[in-house]
Homo-oligomer: A and B are copies of this chain.
Amino acid sequence: MELSKKVQSMQNSPIRRFNVYSLEAEKNGKKVYHFNIGQPDIKTPPEFMEAVKGFNKDVLAYAESGGSVDLQKAICNYFSKFGMSIEPKNVMITNGGSEALSMVFTSILNEGDEVLIAEPFYTNYHTFITAAGGKIVPITTKAEEGYKYAVKEKILPLIGPKTKAISIVNPGNPTGYILSREEMKVLVDIAKEKNLWLIADEVYREFAYDGREMTSFGQFEEVADRVVIIDSVSKRFSACGARIGCIVTKNEDLCGAVMKIAQGRLCCPTLDMIGAAAMYGVDPSYFDAVKKEYENRRNVTYDELMKIPGVVCQKPGGAFYIMAKLPVESTEDFLVWLLTKYDNNGETVMFAPAAGFYATPGLGKDELRIAYCLKAEDMKRGAELLKLGLEEYKKQGNK
């Protein structure tokens, strides 16, 4: 039986497809430090389960397709703290940030349309854009240049008649790069000049370190009709399993288009929306504590990584990922080796090989992504295992 061309051209998740090796290793009694996935060990605010447990209706019924009004209002209130005036009609609740991206690309891309995105990029952008019939045109960045991409001379030559959007993850996944307000303005001006959508994935908004101030693309009034903010409770509240995200845009045509798709899948899970709305009411001190915790984890991880001879790595400014280049030919081979052939006192480490984060063939083979969302001592030990493992890997004659 034949499958569609688009699904054949999709890749398996480089973050999840190695799970088969780690599950096997864990079955054999190895402890695996999971640096591969952005699954924080920070506690989910108890407000979530308290609200869920309070559900006392006899029937677990459908919700509105655009999301529960309570949650929409909670999100508007949250954005108002960033000086943004958002109304419930501008907020479409989605099954995580993932569905938000998928719905937006389905709404704006025709077959063969192009989306500009800085590479390395969060790998599922490839999945969503391909499924919508579109194509990624990468703005290639390098660790050595600090992953800078908001440069007019770099971007303009990539724009052609098929270009429909610039897609931005800020703070960046996997680079942790944070755009300055000036850099955001560069992208805003290009979008205006070239009539492009600006898809701003800001799910890591709170995670900006070293005193950096986070600006949202929603604060640029001059492009309000072309800015689409992608958001999610997954990372913000360490509630990845709730699968609640949203699309925020003042472009009413896009809201209408998204609504058509949203009505197709009927609604988001009722209980999770109740829980999510409650979480948005947490005290702001929650974010301060979480940010401080991640900042420390970043420092510990970065310091450990820098002990590895030959590593190339930038200290990230935000989110909870580090990209690093290792002195190996293939981080994928190294990863499989770590999971199947290596342990130190019964322990090993897992990361995401970075080739899948690039659209340009051949790039990223010697790079990896580390999610520093485990507690500091685990990050330290995992990074040490990376160093020890690499020494052993080399000693055994691997390249």
Footprint of B on A, CB under 8 Å? 1-8, 10-13, 15-17, 19, 37, 39-44, 48-49, 52-53, 55, 58-65, 95-96, 98-99, 102, 106-111, 113, 124, 127-128, 131-133, 164, 195, 197, 225-226, 238-243, 251, 253-254, 257, 259-261, 263-272
Chain B residues with Cβ below 8 Å from A195 are 1
Highest count of chain B CB atoms <10 Å: which of A13, A40, A42, A43: A13
Pairwise interchain contact A108-B271, C-beta atoms closer than 8 A: no
Q: A7-B257, A263-B16 are in contact. Are A106 and B131 (CB under 8 A)?
A: yes
Pairwise interchain contact B264-A13, C-beta atoms closer than 8 A: yes
User: Could you pull out 20 A-B pairs where Cβ atoms are within 8 angstroms?
Assistant: A4-B107, A4-B108, A4-B110, A4-B113, A4-B132, A7-B260, A10-B261, A12-B259, A16-B65, A39-B59, A39-B61, A42-B59, A44-B58, A48-B60, A60-B242, A95-B95, A95-B243, A99-B265, A124-B263, A271-B271
Chain B residues with Cβ below 8 Å from A37 are 62
Pairwise interchain contact A7-B106, C-beta atoms closer than 8 A: yes
Pairwise interchain contact B107-A254, C-beta atoms closer than 8 A: no
Complex CA gap A62/B98 in Å reads 13
Pairwise interchain contact B58-A265, C-beta atoms closer than 8 A: no
Inter-chain pairs besides A1-B251, A6-B106, A10-B261, 13 sampled, C-beta below 8 Å: A1-B226, A4-B113, A10-B257, A11-B260, A13-B264, A16-B263, A37-B62, A44-B59, A52-B52, A52-B53, A62-B241, A241-B267, A271-B272
A62: contacting residue among B39, B49, B267, CB under 8 A: B39
Pairs A-B, 3 closest by C-beta atoms? A241-B270, A127-B264, A13-B263
Q: Within the oligomer, what is the number of copies of this chain?
A: 2
Q: A3-B253, A253-B3 are in contact. Are A95 and B260 (CB under 8 A)?
A: no
CB distance from A23 to the nearest CB of B (A): 10
Nearest opposing residue in chain B for A107, CB measure:
B7
Chain B residues with Cβ below 8 Å from A5 are 110
CB distance from A138 to the nearest CB of B (A): 18
Complex CA gap A107/B128 in Å reads 13
Complex CA gap A188/B260 in Å reads 33
Chain B residues with Cβ below 8 Å from A113 are 4
Highest count of chain B CB atoms <10 Å: which of A1, A53, A132, A241: A241
A102: contacting residue among B44, B265, B269, CB under 8 A: B265
Complex CA gap A266/B48 in Å reads 20
Q: A96-B266, A241-B60 are in contact. Are A3 and B108 (CB under 8 A)?
A: yes
